[in-house]
Structure 1
Amino acid sequence: MVEHYVSAHSPTEHWHASECGVGTFLIDSAGRWFHQGDEIKRPALVRLFASVLSYEQDKYVLKTPSETCVVTVEESPFVIVAWHVSEVAGQFGFEPTIICEDNLGRLWPICQVFPLHMASYKGQTIPHLQLNYGLSARVERTVYYQWAEIAKYNERQGSMTLYSAGQGYELT
């Protein structure tokens, strides 16, 4: 089922090029991409860069076969902006699965391969979806509130658990 939803990523793990000097790249906390201070406004170009982005050795990098460029990321490179419950999960023999859409329109199932976890940012604990290549996506506040409405509350533990693909993920 994962292959049904997840967008392809370039095989960056096979590329070992030297660092480039083409200026600075930044991804702000809203998931907007910048090059040398100017926002990259072409969605296709941002998706292309995202397809070669990875997190390795404690830094974000754009990797191509010929060069590697370091990217500054303010919080998380992507943002989960929408979600739905999979219509096709049952066809694959899976439990109901939450499918997340990121700010680039890519789809990610919440499952063992792409688990939900809580991370701290500016003194707040915020849910993040773990993606491939060491990347993650911060869950937008409106999505979090929608999930809080469907999560199961455990009175004894005082916690909320969101279920997807047969797994429980703590939201508190």
Structure 2
Amino acid sequence: MPYEVPDLAMLTLAEVAELVAARKLPAVESWQPTNIGESDMRIASDGKWFHQGGEIRRPAMVRAFSSLLRREADGAYWLVTPHQKLSIMVDDAPFLAVEMQSEGEGQSRSLAFRLNSDDLVLAGPENMIEMRDEIPYLHVRAGLWAKIARPVFYELVEIALNEMGGIDSSTMPQVWSDGSAFPIGVMS
């Protein structure tokens, strides 16, 4: 059965939450394989995956590899199976948030994101949005983050400014999702 890419615009946030809850990822955090090596893979800062210098263009392969991704406490990234652990180079963040869906307003707002791996993530206390050097990131799972693509970030800024009533240099722009507030700008 072929994988169907979720059309975020056609889903309610309740449907997104059901899809997120139904997704069963491999238990990479509990696997401790003794066969350790190099994968010759790299995830570029634009979210593209490469193997031995060539881009991996099949979305199904990226989805499969991304489900095996783990980040160690020392910041190293690994592709992990029960029998093998292979290092992978990550230039920035391993994922890119490429689409957003918003429901509600203000503190009652909920935000869902689709990643370049077609995973869905609901922003909230477990999946925070944070700014790093004026670039927004979304926590995905277990120390893995997604850089929020520029067009999606502009949508977040528009929401924040509309809810603030416009630009006010004394107030930090922020968005709410699942009861949590996330600053999305810097005060000058």
- Which interval holds the TM-score relative to the shorter structure? 0.7 to 0.9
For 1:45, the equivalent position in structure 2 comes to 61
Equivalent of 2:142 in 105, 130, 133: 133
Partner of 2:130: 117
Q: Could you list the runs of 5+ residues in structure 2 that have no partner in the other structure?
A: 1-13
Asked if structure 2 preserves the Cα contact closer than 8 Å seen for 1:29 and 1:75, the reply is: yes
**Which whole-Å CA distance do the structure 2 matches of 1:22 and 1:155 have between them?**
50
Distance in 2 (CA, whole Å) between partners of 1:30 and 1:49 is: 17
**Equivalent of 2:49 in 11, 33, 41:** 33
SS of residue paired to 2:65: helix
Alignment-mate amino acid for residue 97 of structure 1 = S
**Structure 1 residues 23, 50: CA separation in 2 closer, same or farther (over 3 Å shift)?**
closer
Alignment of 1:10-159 (within 5 A): 10-21=26-37, 23-57=39-73, 58-86=75-103, 95-120=108-133, 125-151=134-160, 152-153=163-164, 155=168, 157-159=170-172
What displacement does 1:85 show?
1.9
Identify the residue that residue 3 of structure 2 maps to in structure 1.
Answer: none
1:141 alignment partner AA: R
Q: State whether residues 5 and 109 of structure 1, in contact with CA within 8 Å, keep that contact through their aligned partners in structure 2.
A: no
Task: Please say which of residues 97-106 and 12-21 is displaced more in the overlay.
Answer: 12-21
Of the three residues 150, 153, 177, the one matched with 1:164 is 177
Tell me, in whole angstroms, the C-alpha distance in 2 between the residues paired with 1:23 and 1:82: 29
Where 1:113 maps in the other structure, the secondary structure is: coil
Unaligned runs of 5+ in 1: 88-93
Off by >3 Å, runs of 4+ in structure 1: 19-23, 152-158
State the Cα RMSD in Å: 2.2
Change (3 A) 1:169 1:138: same
Deviation of 1:8 after TM superposition, in Å, equals 2.9
Per the TM alignment, residue 78 of structure 1 is displaced from its structure 2 partner at its CA by: 0.6
Farther-moved stretch of structure 1 (132-141 vs 77-86): 77-86
Matched position secondary structure for 1:69: strand
Q: Could you tell me which residue of structure 1 aligns to residue 10 of structure 2?
A: none
Identity %: 30
- 8 Å CA contact 2:103–2:110 kept in 1: the answer is yes
Asked if structure 2 preserves the Cα contact closer than 8 Å seen for 1:5 and 1:108, the reply is no
The 2-side partners of 1:156 and 1:167 are apart by: 22
Tell me the secondary structure at the aligned position of residue 14 of structure 1.
coil
3-state SS of the aligned residue for 1:12? coil
- Preserved contact between residue 19 and residue 70 of structure 1 (Cα < 8 Å): no
CA distance in 2, matches of 1:74, 1:169: 25
Inter-partner Cα distance in structure 1 for 2:55 and 2:36 = 20
| Total equivalences in the alignment | 162
Q: Report the residue type matching 2:77 in the other structure.
A: Y
TM-score by length of 2: 0.78
Q: Partners in 1 of 2:28 and 2:37 — Cα distance?
A: 19
